Structure 1
Amino acid sequence: MGANAPSGSAGGDSVEIRLEEVTKRYGNRAEPAVDAVSMTIPAGELVVFVGPSGCGKTTTMKMINRLIEPTSGRILIGGRDASSLNPDELRRSIGYAIQQVGLFPHLTVAENIGVVPGLLGWDKARIRSRTEEMLDLVGLESGEFFGRYPRQLSGGQQQRVGVARALAADPPVLLMDEPFGAVDPITRGNLQDELMRLQAELGKTIVFVTHDFDEAVKLGDRIAVLGNQSKILQYDTPEAILANPADDTVAGFVGAGASLKQLTLLRVRDVELEEVPTASVTESPSVLAEKLGSRRGAVGLVLDQRRRPIRWATKRDLARASSLETVGRPVVDSVDRASTLQDALEAILTDDDGYAVVTRSRGEYAGVVGIDTLMGTIRQLREQHEDTDGADA
Structure 2
Amino acid sequence: MTDSATTKSTVSGVEIVLESVTKRYAGQKDAAVDDVSLTVPAGEIVVFVGPSGCGKTTTMRMINRLIEPSSGKITIDGKDALSIDPDELRRGIGYSIQQAGLFPHMTIAKNVATVPGLIKWDKKRITSRVDEMLDLVGLDPDTYRDRYPRQLSGGQQQRVGVARALAADPPVLLMDEPFGAVDPITRGLLQDELMRLQTELGKTIVFVTHDFNEAVKLGDRIAVLGNQSSIMQYDTPEAILANPANDMVAGFVGADASLKQLTLTRVRDVELLQCPTVTEDDSVDDLRRLLESRKRQWALILDSRNRPLRWVSPAHLAHATTLRGVGQNVGEMVSTQSTLQDALEALLAESTASTCVTGRRGEYAGLITIDTLVGHLSSMRAEHAHDHDAEPSDTKDNGATTNNGDTEVSDAPS
Q: Same fold (TM over 0.5)?
A: yes
CA contact (8 A) 1:225 1:232 kept: yes
User: Shift of the alpha carbon at 1:374?
Assistant: 1.5
- After superposition, residues 113-132 of structure 1 pair within 5 angstroms as 113-132=112-131
Unaligned runs of at least 5 residues, structure 1:
1-10
How many positions carry a matched residue from both structures?
Answer: 380
Unaligned runs of at least 5 residues, structure 2:
1-9, 391-414
Query: In the alignment, what sits opposite 1:67?
Result: 66
Looking at structure 1, the residues matched to 194 and 71 of structure 2 have their Cα atoms a distance apart, in angstroms, of 33
Query: In the alignment, what sits opposite 2:5?
Result: none
Amino acid at match of 2:77: G
Query: In the alignment, what sits opposite 1:208?
Result: 207
Query: In the alignment, what sits opposite 1:194?
Result: 193
User: Shift of the alpha carbon at 1:13?
Assistant: 3.0
Query: In the alignment, what sits opposite 1:146?
Result: 145
Looking at structure 1, the residues matched to 311 and 201 of structure 2 have their Cα atoms a distance apart, in angstroms, of 34
Query: In the alignment, what sits opposite 1:305?
Result: 304
- After superposition, residues 32-71 of structure 1 pair within 5 angstroms as 32-71=31-70
Determine what percentage of the aligned residue pairs are the same residue: 67
Aligned to 1:229, the other structure's residue is in SS state helix
Aligned to 1:175, the other structure's residue is in SS state strand
Looking at structure 1, the residues matched to 305 and 190 of structure 2 have their Cα atoms a distance apart, in angstroms, of 22
Looking at structure 1, the residues matched to 284 and 118 of structure 2 have their Cα atoms a distance apart, in angstroms, of 55
Query: In the alignment, what sits opposite 2:226?
Result: 227
User: Shift of the alpha carbon at 1:348?
Assistant: 2.0
CA contact (8 A) 1:43 1:204 kept: yes
Looking at structure 2, the residues matched to 350 and 225 of structure 1 have their Cα atoms a distance apart, in angstroms, of 30
Cα distance per residue 1:152-195 (max 9 Å; x no partner): 10000000000000000000000000000000111100000000
Aligned to 1:350, the other structure's residue is in SS state helix
Query: In the alignment, what sits opposite 2:408?
Result: none
CA contact (8 A) 2:310 2:330 kept: yes
Query: In the alignment, what sits opposite 2:3?
Result: none
Aligned to 2:164, the other structure's residue is in SS state helix
Aligned to 1:188, the other structure's residue is in SS state helix
CA contact (8 A) 2:276 2:298 kept: yes
The answer to whether structure 1 residue 287 and structure 2 residue 286 are counterparts is yes
Query: In the alignment, what sits opposite 2:95?
Result: 96
Cα distance per residue 1:91-143 (max 9 Å; x no partner): 00000000021101111110000010000000110000001100110011111
User: Shift of the alpha carbon at 1:349?
Assistant: 2.1
The answer to whether structure 1 residue 330 and structure 2 residue 323 are counterparts is no
Looking at structure 1, the residues matched to 348 and 284 of structure 2 have their Cα atoms a distance apart, in angstroms, of 27
CA contact (8 A) 2:22 2:35 kept: yes
The answer to whether structure 1 residue 250 and structure 2 residue 249 are counterparts is yes
CA contact (8 A) 1:12 1:171 kept: no
Looking at structure 2, the residues matched to 181 and 325 of structure 1 have their Cα atoms a distance apart, in angstroms, of 38
Amino acid at match of 2:298: V
Relative to structure 1, is the Cα distance of residues 352 and 292 closer, same or farther in structure 2, using a 3 angstrom cutoff?
Answer: farther
Aligned to 1:18, the other structure's residue is in SS state strand
Looking at structure 2, the residues matched to 320 and 155 of structure 1 have their Cα atoms a distance apart, in angstroms, of 41
Aligned to 2:157, the other structure's residue is in SS state helix
CA contact (8 A) 1:276 1:300 kept: yes
Amino acid at match of 1:53: S
Looking at structure 1, the residues matched to 135 and 182 of structure 2 have their Cα atoms a distance apart, in angstroms, of 21
User: Shift of the alpha carbon at 1:291?
Assistant: 2.2
CA contact (8 A) 1:50 1:225 kept: yes
Looking at structure 2, the residues matched to 77 and 12 of structure 1 have their Cα atoms a distance apart, in angstroms, of 15
Once the two structures are overlaid, the 10-residue window that deviates more, 299-308 or 88-97, is 299-308
Query: In the alignment, what sits opposite 1:365?
Result: 364
Looking at structure 2, the residues matched to 297 and 259 of structure 1 have their Cα atoms a distance apart, in angstroms, of 35
Amino acid at match of 2:187: R
Once the two structures are overlaid, the 10-residue window that deviates more, 45-54 or 351-360, is 351-360
Looking at structure 1, the residues matched to 351 and 244 of structure 2 have their Cα atoms a distance apart, in angstroms, of 37
CA contact (8 A) 2:11 2:42 kept: no
Looking at structure 2, the residues matched to 353 and 294 of structure 1 have their Cα atoms a distance apart, in angstroms, of 24
CA contact (8 A) 2:96 2:165 kept: yes
